[in-house]
Amino acid sequence: MTEQHRHAEVTARALAIAPTELFVDGAWRPAADGATLDVANPATGAVLATIASAGPDDARAALDAAASARDDWARTPARTRSELLRAAFERVHELSEEFAALMTLEMGKPLTDARAEVTYGAEFLRWYAEEAVRINGRYAASPEGNLRLLTVRRPVGPCLFITPWNFPLAMATRKIAPALAAGCTVVLKPAALTPLTSLALARVLEEVGVPAGVVNVVPTASAGAVTDPLLADRRLRKLSFTGSTAVGRSLLRTSADNVLRTSMELGGCAPFIVFEDADLDLAVENAVRTKMRNIGQACNAANSFHVQRGVVEAFTDRLTERLGSLPIGNGLDAGVEVGPLVSEDARADVDTLVRDAVAAGARVATGGAVPEGPGSFYPPTVLADVPADAAILGREIFGPVAPVTSFDTEEEVLARANASEVGLAGYLHTGDMARVLRFAERLEVGLLGVNSPAISNAAAPFGGVKHSGLGREGGPEGIEEYLETVYVGLTDPFA
Ligand code: NAP
């Protein structure tokens, strides 16, 4: 079979699991005004599918459905909610190759990254299937003895989810699974670049028996026009957003008018810090993984590399060798480790950052130029000798570019990292346990990886501090975002 035939076959199988219409109140339907949007493959530029593009009327219908389903779903026994989530976990795994290929097709990541996302994304369905049956209130006597204090947990109510294109499955399950476990109903607006995976997930939820109206999915080419009326609607009780800090800030302002509960998973700019006492081979391997996962398009990707002066040259040389030899190509091809960036615009932004860094004095050790040919590819790039005040060290790169700079002391690198206005992830390489604890207490981030490249886990709270956001997803903390606490004061039964 030729490579072309194999691609066509994989593509057909993947597209077969993704409906192309809106999912509202348990039914698949076109947009009320007939609008559509094209979904393209960034590796080739070819259109993969043309899908319905929701307008404000469709969004309102989706919220109508979520509001109508609210009470029944909240009263559905936790065990039933749990088993539906568990069934969805099993079904996503049965379709893991199709889900992986779908993500490779619509956003470009290599199949190995896409398969890892299926495992990670599905795990939220299993984790919250297990948490659904452990939602508890409490009962206590007041200190004075005159009251009994009953605390009840309730689902917050209908939620709006807005997700980005970089992890099309995991960003949806990380919100949907805890919400459904808590008893909330949902309207999901996925990114316009990658709606197919969300539609395939909705089909899975429908297949396993999640009732009509509990989950509604409204992809659209006009995000604000669709979400603004929902944010103003009194029936909506919660917004959970994952995306850029700029859009998150604007959504927070809009949400203020309706005093919505909000969770914000926003941009990052993770420092990757290597001390002279670290295992250098491990640090280089972890640098490759934290930089290159998703072709650098991850909010928790290593963004700037701060290496203690005594090992900076050795680190840079080894990183250059490793990144310079990674196979680039269509993510569907075996052995490819670097796919295209999600779009031509994304590639142009990355290239501009590299050029600005070079103008500021950085040296290109490998990569650093837009290649010829189709697809929005950008080569893995190492920038050496980056001046400590260069703009690229403080900007979210969202591409396969590793700027390396040096430092002398712990205080210096901590102050430099903490100067950032965002604080999502940080990576520390050191052999000194006391230093690890000092960083755990002082580095201003929500996630700290220690001598480790892959720290995201469904059982752990994911989220940032400062302008990286509000709230946590994953772990026991993740379900709290979807629960209200109601206090019931009871009279002393012995009075
Ligand atoms: P983005 O441009 O902020 O878009 C995110 C989502 O918001 C998309 O669905 C987008 O729709 C929608 N959107 C854009 N403008 C909107 C508006 N005015 N009203 C309502 N919705 C709007 O971010 P992105 O480029 O997709 O994703 C990359 C960013 O996400 C990075 O900054 C990354 O760090 C961050 N991220 C954070 C986390 C985390 O957990 N902290 C995880 C992943 C990604 P369209 O697709 O139609 O534009």
Identify the pLDDT of residue 269. Answer: 97
Backbone φ, ψ for residue 442 (5° rounding): -120, -25
Pairing of strands 401-407, 381-384: parallel
The residue to which tokens 């700037």 are assigned: 304
Q: How far apart are CA 147 and CA 363, in angstroms?
A: 70
| pLDDT tens by residue, 403-419 | 999 999 999 999 999 99
Of 61, 131, 175, 93, give the one whose Cα is nearest residue 472: 175
| pLDDT tens by residue, 116-172 | 999 999 999 999 999 999 999 999 999 999 999 999 999 999 999 999 999 999 999
- The DSSP symbol for 26 reads T
Of 338, 392, 376, give the one whose Cα is nearest residue 193: 376
% pLDDT > 70, the chain: 100
| pLDDT tens by residue, 426-448 | 999 999 999 999 999 999 999 99
Residues 430-467 as b or e (16 or more Cβ within 10 Å = b): beeeebeeebeeebbbbbbbbeebeebebeebbbbebb
pLDDT at 1 over 80: no
Kindly give the distance from the C-alpha atom of residue 241 to the centroid of ligand 1, in angstroms, as a whole number: 8
Question: What pTM was computed for the model?
Answer: 0.97
pLDDT at 388 over 90: no
| Burial environment of residue 325 by CB neighbours within 10 A (0 to 12, 13 to 18, 19 or more) | exposed
Can you tell me which atom of ligand 1 is nearest the CA of 193? 46
Q: Are 40 and 195 in contact (CB under 8 A)?
A: no
As beta bridge partners, residue 152 has 486
Q: How far apart are CA 187 and CA 63, in angstroms?
A: 7
The two tokens of residue 475 are 């772990």
Q: How far apart are CA 146 and CA 182, in angstroms?
A: 32
Find the catalytic residue in 184, 299, 396, 481.
299
Q: Any catalytic annotation for residue 265?
A: yes
Q: Any catalytic annotation for residue 207?
A: no
pLDDT at 359 over 90: yes
Kindly give the distance from the C-alpha atom of residue 164 to the centroid of ligand 1, in angstroms, as a whole number: 4
Kindly give the distance from the C-alpha atom of residue 162 to the centroid of ligand 1, in angstroms, as a whole number: 7
Identify the pLDDT of residue 105. Answer: 98
The two tokens of residue 3 are 């490579």
Identify the pLDDT of residue 454. Answer: 79
Identify the pLDDT of residue 4. Answer: 87
